[in-house]
Chains A and B, each alone.
Chain A
Amino acid sequence: GESVGLHLPTLSVQEGDNSIINCAYSNSASDYFIWYKQESGKGPQFIIDIRSNMDKRQGQRVTVLLNKTVKHLSLQIAATQPGDSAVYFCAENMRAAGNKLTFGGGTRVLVKP
């Protein structure tokens, strides 16, 4: 498969452990945030989103935390599985500026069996 980015920060996680992926966003006026997962050779896949009026949102095995004070977003994956190996991107959106997404640089997660 194609490499998404050769110089991405990489998080190595033991299968079954929890993963935490961090993202600093740039625009304090952003009001909608999304985490995407991108597997090799595929397009970004939606994982979970959060609006700026929330600080935590949980999905299936994933939790997103938003700290607007320091413009920080994190994605927690519980009981990481081999299928979680991918590149993870955070994206921010300011609805008043339309729906274009501004993506972070991405973090590569490698799950060790």
Chain B
Amino acid sequence: DSGVTQTPKHLITATGQRVTLRCSPRSGDLSVYWYQQSLDQGLQFLIQYYNGEERAKGNILERFSAQQFPDLHSELNLSSLELGDSALYFCASSVAPTSAHYNEQFFGPGTRLTVL
């Protein structure tokens, strides 16, 4: 158990809908990362937050957004869902994001999103 929790574990929805995925980082970790894992694209970095602020952006679609709350949990919002958004979505956390540190990232168990 990495200490990172994600809910829900599974989510089935229809095209055009909007969903929210939730992540709680490990106790003491200030940085949260979101990754998408699909069969054809592998593990892709989406976005990073540190202590409530966005720190880095990767291959995240405009239909997707995220935020990190004062209690450090994070939510990934996916809207106008398409069939191709079906994937595993992982959250990871680390202590700090600064370039002075080599930050081991701990991954949660993921949320499997199926868009029908």
Contact = CB atoms under 8 A, between A and B. Distances in A.
Interface stretch (B11-19, B62-70, B75-83, B98-106): B98-106
A103 B42 contact: yes
Given A2-B88, A44-B43, A99 B106 contact: no
Nearest to B96: A99
A49 B101 CA distance: 13
A97 to B, nearest CB: 8
Given A43-B2, A43-B108, A45-B2, A98 B39 contact: no
A34 interface: yes
A44 B4 CA distance: 12
Interface residues of A, number: 31
A16 B102 CA distance: 33
B56 A42 contact: no
Interface string A98-112: 111111111000000
A82 B43 CA distance: 25
| Size band of the interface chain B makes with A | 20 to 34
A56 interface: no
Interface of A: 2-6, 32, 34, 36, 41-46, 49, 51, 89, 91, 93, 95-106
16 contacts: A2-B88, A4-B37, A41-B109, A43-B90, A44-B43, A44-B90, A44-B107, A45-B107, A95-B101, A98-B97, A98-B99, A99-B48, A99-B105, A100-B33, A104-B42, A106-B43
